[in-house]
Structure 1
């Protein structure tokens, strides 16, 4: 018995020694949490069409090599636009970091403009001057259905390619940007096929046709959100037939009529380069062949600290507004099978948590698909 207790005591002492030895080998790691870097981000442009142009100011935070989180709005700033003749347009804050010109403000072809910002704490920022170059008129716009092979061997991607036909001015450098705006389409559903939900207390999944409504007008952000910009370096002076927009057929967009709104814009060489870099960043696939994410510097600079990184690009454009009605019966093919929505189109939009609300069951006052 005595031998047993001696053995147990020796074992206990060995465990204590091992524990002390292990803990004595652990080095302390001191960690200090650093505040994230915050950068001013400027988004906005003005065109030659009179309207309330908007500039957005935000702060983005950076931890390590990549930005995370959403930009926080910058409020109570003094924002103005100046031209090369000394004329000044003071912008009014309309909320959430957005600042607006007057409703009749428009840029003028041949004039140069810059954006000036003074924050509430007194820091000042200015953009490099941007000159408004003329943009040629669009003669006509056409569209056709496209089919693209995907990694899913059973399902190709179906979409609609929109083409613009116009003359590029000879002996002149031109840079183009086609900006897709919020658009509208007719959402077609099948309320007569509605069934009660599976958890209905008395008749789960029973047919319960709804009397209304099979046709709603719905707002949409065209997908994909590619940046389409072009230089005429290789085709100066040639008559162009150029793709200016592409919209994926998700089974709902083209069940009847889709109204696509596009800005046909002239831009500077510097803005063209900036947009190309942004598009490259947006199209990264995450493979080992992708370039690393980069902070893309625009034309905004700090007047107080020339080392400060300011994000964003202020640019000016000559604009031609394009409105294209894409009609179901004029597409060679569509996403098949067409998506069936067995519900009232108003209820479906609410239940599906669509990012954009429907307008109404009545068309917008400016809906003219026959034109």
Structure 2
């Protein structure tokens, strides 16, 4: 009725960590940020949580021997000084040294000028969706520019954190069903109708292209698409983004990232895979290193989109019949300092 159990000493092997470095500098003076992280790797394909790496030395070097030492912010984020900027024609690389001594360096990236924009416009569009009775409505952002005919160009349009108005209907507020004197009676509020929130525009897409099909031609091209969810364009939406020139290797990397982000679960999707960037380990050339360092010329884009100027708008599925601050999107009633529609 009894037996003995001999303990078996077993220790699971720690999964090999895989380093990931994401760096991005442009010709606009500001605090540029680099993220250094490490993910647990299980087998050839699955990568676990991405954790920031602290106490690393992060340097940006150019072909003139100048060095920018980045300051640690926390959570694996390192930033340059607030007045740092890349220069057109200069070549840069990013070097990272971990506190354990491992060193990683990016392949050189040369900054080439980005063609100027003549204008940026927007229009509302309607297209079929997966819901049979409801079309998808959104705003298409278009860039108009002349592509140079004597060189090959690689473009990248990057969406940034954008501000927008959150519109409430405090005049439609009603008492609750358990109000002691007048259940469900109208009870307009004095405040507040307009709030302001922030978001990175949805859906998330990587829009990059080369000029192989339009070299030397005047181009009108979609550079962003923002889906209307019924609340996003009730007021004014301020879109911030970057018009960038990138290197051929950065274009290839971004294109592959875009393909992975567009996976929808169909048989036509590309297989999931880790995308190799332009980083190398100085101790072990066979070590897999993820991420990419990009140095690019930048033209900032700021566009105010007023919902009243749109031909198509999505009828809100839910209203905010109360103070706009009650919405999860409404953060404050104070407009950004530089708000100027």
Give the equivalent residue in structure 2 for 1:283. Answer: 262
Give the equivalent residue in structure 1 for 2:315. Answer: 336
Give the equivalent residue in structure 2 for 1:363. Answer: 335
Instruction: Say what the alpha-carbon RMSD is for the aligned residues.
Output: 2.0
For the 8 Å contact 1:60–1:67, the answer to whether it is kept is no
**Structure 1 position 275, deviation (Å):** 0.5
> Following the alignment from structure 1 to structure 2, what is the Cα–Cα distance between the partners of residues 171 and 286?
41
Q: 1:200 to 1:72 in 2, by over 3 A?
A: farther
Which of residues 43, 50, 55 is equivalent to 1:64? 43
Give the equivalent residue in structure 2 for 1:45. Answer: 24
Tell which deviates more after alignment, 248-257 or 333-342.
Answer: 333-342
Q: Which structure has the larger Rg over C-alpha atoms?
A: 1
Give the equivalent residue in structure 2 for 1:90. Answer: 69
> Following the alignment from structure 2 to structure 1, what is the Cα–Cα distance between the partners of residues 300 and 177?
48
Q: What secondary structure is seen at the aligned counterpart in 1 of 2:325?
A: helix
Which of residues 93, 96, 110 is equivalent to 1:114? 93
Give the equivalent residue in structure 2 for 1:135. Answer: 114
**Structure 1 position 327, deviation (Å):** 1.0
For the 8 Å contact 1:43–1:313, the answer to whether it is kept is yes
Q: 1:304 to 1:199 in 2, by over 3 A?
A: farther
For the 8 Å contact 1:255–1:338, the answer to whether it is kept is no
> Following the alignment from structure 2 to structure 1, what is the Cα–Cα distance between the partners of residues 208 and 318?
33
**Structure 1 position 65, deviation (Å):** 4.9
Task: Answer 1 or 2: which has greater helix percent.
Answer: 1
**Structure 1 position 35, deviation (Å):** 2.7
Q: What secondary structure is seen at the aligned counterpart in 2 of 1:287?
A: coil
Tell which deviates more after alignment, 239-248 or 288-297.
Answer: 288-297
Tell which deviates more after alignment, 276-285 or 63-72.
Answer: 63-72
Give the equivalent residue in structure 2 for 1:254. Answer: 233
> Following the alignment from structure 2 to structure 1, what is the Cα–Cα distance between the partners of residues 241 and 125?
19
For the 8 Å contact 2:42–2:48, the answer to whether it is kept is no
Q: What secondary structure is seen at the aligned counterpart in 2 of 1:139?
A: strand
Q: How does 1:159-308 map to 2 (within 5 A)?
A: 159-196=138-175, 207-308=186-287
> Following the alignment from structure 2 to structure 1, what is the Cα–Cα distance between the partners of residues 79 and 310?
39
Q: 1:66 to 1:341 in 2, by over 3 A?
A: farther
Q: 1:336 to 1:305 in 2, by over 3 A?
A: same
For the 8 Å contact 2:113–2:245, the answer to whether it is kept is yes
Q: What secondary structure is seen at the aligned counterpart in 2 of 1:71?
A: strand
Q: Deviations over 1:182-237 (max 9, x none)?
A: 00111111112223456778876554432210101111210011000010011111
Q: What secondary structure is seen at the aligned counterpart in 1 of 2:291?
A: strand
TM-score by length of 2: 0.92
Q: What secondary structure is seen at the aligned counterpart in 2 of 1:318?
A: strand
Q: 1:215 to 1:80 in 2, by over 3 A?
A: same
> Following the alignment from structure 1 to structure 2, what is the Cα–Cα distance between the partners of residues 283 and 169?
30
> Following the alignment from structure 1 to structure 2, what is the Cα–Cα distance between the partners of residues 206 and 252?
26
Tell which deviates more after alignment, 332-341 or 119-128.
Answer: 332-341
Q: 1:204 to 1:292 in 2, by over 3 A?
A: farther
TM-score by length of 1: 0.85
Give the equivalent residue in structure 2 for 1:26. Answer: none
